[in-house]
Every structure is written in structure tokens, then in C-alpha cells.
Structure 1
Amino acid sequence: MSSSSSRRVLSIQSHVVSGYVGNKSATFPLQVLGYEVDQINSVQLCNHTGYKHVKGQVLNAEELGELFDGLVLNDIHHYTHILTGYVGSESFLFKVVDIVKKLKKTNPNLIYVCDPVMGDNGHMYVPKELLPIYRDHLVALADILTPNQYEAELLTGLQIK
């Protein structure tokens, strides 16, 4: 499909071995819609964090930077969209801010879809230090923001009833 080469998404989200969240759940539907999807996994976990036991790895900011630098060096960092989801560390999220800014400079028409995955049902399942990074940096860069009710309350400081 020729249109897929012109619609490219960089998806920076989680990867789980068991289950369907993050990049594992976003990539196929986007491909069906004709998007070319490049994935960077923010974490690689055995399952999502709602389980009793979670094992795996959390990518750090340096590793994310190395992957992105490789895309830039090979001139394959031209995207129409960027999608971000679950992030497990503060430094990684700050690096995401940097990457979104660079991609928006490369393509001023880039659409940034930010899913500020922080928690649900009244409790956070990421480090609390991520909230101000989302609130003070990423929300302003986002063209589309998809928080759940709990995350919307955290970001706005308002209770939703």
C-alpha cells in the first residue's frame, strides 16, 4: 500500500510477553489502518503491572537515546505521528519529552498522541515522579491526550464525578 509509507508512527510504549497492552495492542490495528509502525519498547515485562508478580526490564534514558540516535543517523526518523504510552522511569520520560520536541521540529505537522499511563481506580502504578513530567511537559506538546478518569484528575487537580 503506497499510502502506508507516507503515514509513519513511532510508538514508544510497553511490551508484555503475556497479554495485550502497549505496543502489542497498538501496532496491529495501526497497520490495518495503513500506518507503518516503528516500535520502541519502554519496558519488557512478563505481564502488565496489575498482576501480583511482575518481572522484566525497564529501558533507561540512555538506551532510548541510543535507539533514537540510530534512527536519526540512518535518516529514518521522519514520522507523521508519535504515540506514547506506559513509561517506567523518570529519566526515560524526560528523554521522551526531548524526542517529541525533536520530531516536532523535524515535522511541524507531526501529530503527538499521548496516553499518560499512570494509574487507575485511585492508585498509581508508575513512580509518582512521572506526574509532574506529564503535567508540566508532555501535555503541552500533545495534540491528542487520552487519559482515563483517574489520570485526568491527577493531571488537572480536579475531581471528576
Structure 2
Amino acid sequence: YQVSKGKKNFFCNLSCAASYRNRNNPNNPPDPQYGNQYGRKYPNEVSWYATRCFKDQRFGLMEHSVRLSFANHLLEKLKEQKGRCAFTNISLSLRDVQGKVHEDNPFKIASVDRINNSLPYQEGNVQWTSVAMNFARNRTELEEFKECLQEFLAACATQNFTT
């Protein structure tokens, strides 16, 4: 905390004093990553998902220069899919910035899926799916997974589920 006595400021410790000095230093401009229309690094809707994609270690970390454009691409893709799963067309619930979601059903929780699993998360290689469909697909190729889904749906149509 800070106490003002005349023109001098007194702080509870050196850490608080340093934070105050750094925040008000004209030679220390704000981080350019935050100088976008969102006022934060990434759009709120996809912030948690974008950060998870950036940290994917399988193909190396995503370069800082493409992170904001990728986060914007995720948001555009979500709007293009109208907030629905690419496989089931069920409306998806997004996680908040901390990763919390107000939904228990994994078929309704959003997840970012790679279209081609041999490529990293990048523009043109992602789609929005539900957590359940992403886990079900795992490393299966997209066309093979769609065929399996159609077989599954055909089998479900012939079953009598009344118990």
C-alpha cells in the first residue's frame, strides 16, 4: 500500500515502490501485445483456448508474432461455425479466461481440434468441436472419423433404447 506525505510517497516495501515507479515511468511504454482492440493480449472468448494452443509442445511453441492473428482466427472460426460443434452441430459453451465452464456435459463444452493431426495448431488447421468428440477422434484421420460417426449413427437408428 502507499501513504502520501506531502510530495513524497511511502510504500509498504521495496516491491510496491518498484511497481509504482515502473508503472509511471515514461521510458517504460505499455507492452505492444496489449495495444489491441481488446485491451488484453487476446479476445476474451478464446483467450483460454488460444493460450492452450500456444503452449502445445508437440510441434514447438508458437512464435509470438503470430499469436494474436491465431487468436483472432479462432474467434472468426467460432463465428463461422456459429458456436456449434463441427461434428454434431450442438451449441458449444466456451470456457472463461480462467478455464472455467458452466456446463457439465462434455458434448456441450467447446474444444479446439486440429483438422490434420500431423500439423500444429495453426490458421486453417483448426475447427471447434466438443470435448467429447475431440477425445473420441483422438489421432484418427478426419475422413475416417466421419465414416465411423456415420456407422455409429446408423447403428443407433436401428437400436431400441427403451429399458
Q: If the length of structure 2 is used for normalisation, what is the TM-score?
A: 0.24
Greater strand content: 1
Instruction: Work out which structure has the larger RCO, using CA pairs closer than 8 Å and 6 or more positions apart in sequence.
Output: 1
User: Highest Rg: 1 or 2?
Assistant: 2
Q: If the length of structure 1 is used for normalisation, what is the TM-score?
A: 0.24
